[in-house]
């Protein structure tokens, strides 16, 4: 009979899929950034290549999305900024508990990002537009913040679960 952890582990492919989709979105955004920036720079120095007026705002928006989504990806890989200097000297359970506390703190930050970020996107975005693209709402400039909050919560659920599992399962033992 499968344990509770084994049952929950069956949803890992969902986390893998969301991670891969988010990672590939970041790759596509990076390709857009490089391409648009290259065209803009060439357009300034090569007379027959047009320099699009919208290039700077689109590149900055793509960078905002990449930065925010990359922060969510870092949670899953545990590659975000964190203090691990004392982990080797502390008991394993203390390290796991501090990881759980860090997950809770980041969860609170993610909730704030969703609430405040959505407020900015909705209120400020509604009244403005990109200077070079008047038909595009500034909502899209502020939307990366709540989007990252949602992504962070998704990956924090997995991180929190893995830390709780580490707390209760010792080196492959079953509960």
The answer as to whether 91 is a domain residue is yes
The answer as to whether 173 is a domain residue is no
- Number of folded domains in the chain? 1
| Confidence at residue 175, expressed as pLDDT on a 0 to 100 scale | 47
The answer as to whether 73 is a domain residue is yes
User: Which DSSP letter does residue 10 get?
Assistant: T
Q: Is a pLDDT exceeding 80 seen at residue 3?
A: no
The answer as to whether 175 is a domain residue is no
Q: Residue 80 in 3-state DSSP?
A: coil
pTM value? 0.81
The answer as to whether 174 is a domain residue is no
**Domain encompassing residue 85:** 4-168
The answer as to whether 64 is a domain residue is yes
Pairwise CA distance, residues 96 & 107, whole Å: 16
Q: Is a pLDDT exceeding 70 seen at residue 1?
A: no
* DSSP E strand stretches across 17-165: none
The answer as to whether 138 is a domain residue is yes
The answer as to whether 28 is a domain residue is yes
User: Which DSSP letter does residue 137 get?
Assistant: B
* Bigger pLDDT: 30 vs 51: 30
**What is the average pLDDT score of the chain?**
88
Cα three-residue angle 42-48-53, rounded to 5 degrees: 60
Q: What is the pLDDT of residues 46-86, one digit of tens each?
A: 888 888 888 888 999 999 999 999 999 999 888 877 777 78
Q: What is the pLDDT of residues 111-146, one digit of tens each?
A: 999 999 999 989 888 787 777 787 888 888 889 999
């Amino acid at each position: 009979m499968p344990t509770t952890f084994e049952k929950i582990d069956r949803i890992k492919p969902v986390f893998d899929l969301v991670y891969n989709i988010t990672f590939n979105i970041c790759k596509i955004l990076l390709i857009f950034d490089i391409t648009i920036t290259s065209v803009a720079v060439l357009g300034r120095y090569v007379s027959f290549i047009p320099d699009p007026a919208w290039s700077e705002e689109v590149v900055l928006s793509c960078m905002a999305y990449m930065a925010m989504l990359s922060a969510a990806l870092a949670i899953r890989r545990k590659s975000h900024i964190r203090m691990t200097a004392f982990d080797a000297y502390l008991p394993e359970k203390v390290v796991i508990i501090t990881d759980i506390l860090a997950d809770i703190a980041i969860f609170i930050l993610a909730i704030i990002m969703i609430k405040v970020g959505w407020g900015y996107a909705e209120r400020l975005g509604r009244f403005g537009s990109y200077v070079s693209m008047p038909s595009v709402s500034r909502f899209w400039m502020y939307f990366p913040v709540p989007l990252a909050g949602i992504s962070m919560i998704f990956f924090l659920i997995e991180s929190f679960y893995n830390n709780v599992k580490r707390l209760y399962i010792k080196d492959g033992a079953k509960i």
